[in-house]
Chains A and B, each alone.
Chain A
Amino acid sequence: MLKFLIRRLAAMIFTALCITFVVFYLTNLPPNLEKVAKSEAGSRISDEEVQSWLEKNGHAQPLLKRYGEWLGVVPGWTRTDEAGAVTGRCIRPKTDPAEAPHYCGILQGDWGFSTVFREDVSKIIATRLGLTGLLMFWVMVTMVPLSLLIGVLAGMREGSRLDRTLSTFSIASTATPEYVSGVILIVVFASKLVGLQWFKGSANSAMDGLTFENFALPVATIVLYGTGYIARMTRASMTEVMTAQYIRTARLKGVSFASVVVKHALRNALIAPFTVIMLQFPWLLNGVVIVETLFNYKGFGWTLVSAAGNNDIQLLLGCSVVAVLVVLVTQLISDIGYVFLNPRIRIS
Chain B
Amino acid sequence: MEPLAWGAILATVLRLFLPVWIALIATYALSIAFKRRLGLYGKLFDSTVGMIGFGFVMFWVFTALFAPMIETRDVLSQISQMKNVVPGTPIPDGSGHYLFGGDNLGRDVFSRMVAGSRIVIQIAPLATMFAFMVGVTLGLPAGYYGGFFDTGLSFLANLVLAFPVILLFYLLVTPEIVQTGLPQYIAVVLFILPLLFLLLLINSRYYVTPGFRNIVIAAVLVIGGWAYLSLVSEADTKIAVLPQALDLIHVPANILIVFVSVVFVNAPTVFRIVRGIVLDIKTRDYVSAAQTRGERPWYIMLWEILPNARGPLIVDFCLRIGYTTILLGTLGFFGLGLSPESPDWGSTINAGRKLLTIAPWPALVPAIALMSLVLGLNLLADGLREESLKD
Contact = CB atoms under 8 A, between A and B. Distances in A.
Pick from B171, B330, B358 the residue with the most CB of A within 10 Å.
B171
Given A29-B177, A201-B357, A308-B170, A19 B334 contact: no
Nearest to A191: B357
Contacts of B307: none
Interface-central residue, B155, B167, B182, B330, by most chain A CB under 10 Å? B167
Contacts of B333: 179, 290, 293
| Size bracket, chain B contacts | 35 or more
A84 interface: no
Given A27-B171, A201-B357, A174 B378 contact: yes
Contact of B363 (A19, A175, A183, A324): A183
A339 B375 CA distance: 35
Chain A, interface SS category: helix
Interface string B72-91: 00000000000000000000
Interface string A4-48: 000000000001001100010011011110010000000000000
A183 B164 contact: no
B20 interface: no
Interface in B159-175: 159, 162-167, 170-172, 174
Nearest to A172: B375
A15 B167 contact: no
A192 B357 contact: yes
A19 B158 CA distance: 11
B346 interface: yes
A183 B378 contact: no
B134 interface: no
B330 A186 contact: no
Contacts of B334: 293, 305
Contact of B159 (A19, A174, A286): A19
Interface in B224-274: none
Contacts of B177: 26, 29
Contacts of B379: 171
Contact of B162 (A15, A27, A179, A286): A15
Given A175-B322, A183-B367, A308-B170, A191 B360 contact: yes
B356 A183 contact: yes
B329 A184 contact: no
A174 B322 CA distance: 10
B374 interface: yes
Contacts of A171: 375, 378-379, 382
B349 interface: yes
B374 A175 contact: yes
Interface in A297-313: 301, 304-305, 308
Contacts of B349: 179-180, 183
Nearest to B360: A187
Contact of B176 (A32, A177, A304, A323): A32
A15 B159 contact: yes
A304 B329 contact: no
Given A29-B176, A171-B378, A305-B334, A286 B164 contact: yes
A191 B353 CA distance: 12
Interface residues of A, number: 47
B167 A323 contact: yes
B326 interface: yes
Contact of A18 (B159, B176, B363): B159
A201 B354 CA distance: 10
Contacts of B364: 183-184, 187
A219 interface: no
A115 interface: no
Contacts of A305: 166, 170, 334
A184 B367 contact: yes
A204 interface: no
Contacts of A35: 176
A256 B379 CA distance: 35
B288 interface: no
Contacts of A19: 159, 162-163
B10 interface: no
A186 B349 CA distance: 13
B180 interface: yes
Contact of A294 (B353, B357, B370): B353
B125 to A, nearest CB: 17
Interface in B115-169: 155, 158-159, 162-167
23 contacts: A15-B162, A26-B172, A26-B182, A29-B177, A29-B180, A30-B180, A31-B176, A31-B179, A171-B378, A176-B374, A177-B329, A179-B346, A180-B349, A180-B370, A183-B356, A183-B367, A191-B360, A285-B164, A290-B333, A308-B167, A308-B171, A320-B164, A324-B163
Given A26-B171, A180-B368, A305-B166, 4 more contacts: A171-B382, A179-B367, A187-B356, A290-B330
What 4 A-B pairs come out closest when comparing CB atoms?
A31-B176, A308-B170, A175-B375, A175-B374
